Amino acid sequence: MQEGDETFTSLDILRPIVIRSLRRSNVRKKIAEYLFDISPSGSYTSEIAYNVKTTPTNVIGAIRGMRSRYSPDESLIALNIVEKMSGSKNIKLYRLTDFGREILETIKYKR
């Protein structure tokens, strides 16, 4: 199997897990939809929290994972939906990945 085929296969395996994760958490889904709307730009935690009407702690948990509430295995970064962009030293910016954009387009067309 070629290297490109492995990536395609792993994303196909990940797809149902990602959709299940977004259905289980309104916060994860709202964050992904917000980043979809501002794509290809990224945003920082406080701005995301303000726009999805939740706390920055919930945003961090959904994006990076938090033991008490958000499983790190089902975080938006671990699921390859969101990526951390290089920002300045103290600001972490997040944006939707191409895979995340594809998933959200699929979800929006099914509505």
The domain spanning residue 67 has which CATH number?
1.10.10.10
For residue 94, the enclosing domain spans 3-110
CA distance 18 to 22: 6
Listed as own residue / partner, the contacts of 63-69 with beta carbons closer than 8 Å and 24 or more positions apart are: 63/31, 63/94
Q: For 15-61, what is each residue's pLDDT tens digit?
A: 888 888 888 889 999 999 999 999 889 899 999 999 999 999 999 99
Residue 53 region by backbone torsions, left for phi larger than 0, else alpha for psi between -120 and 50, else beta: left
Q: For 63-98, what is each residue's pLDDT tens digit?
A: 998 877 788 888 999 989 999 987 677 788 999 999
**What per-residue confidence (pLDDT) applies to 2?**
46
pTM assigned to the model: 0.83
**What per-residue confidence (pLDDT) applies to 109?**
63
Mean residue pLDDT across the chain: 84
**What per-residue confidence (pLDDT) applies to 89?**
75
**What per-residue confidence (pLDDT) applies to 54?**
94
Radius of gyration of the chain (CA): 14
Name the domain count of the chain.
Answer: 1
Using alpha carbons, list the distances in angstroms from residue 94 to 1, 34, 50, 90, 109. 33, 11, 15, 13, 24
CB 95 within 8 A of CB 40: yes
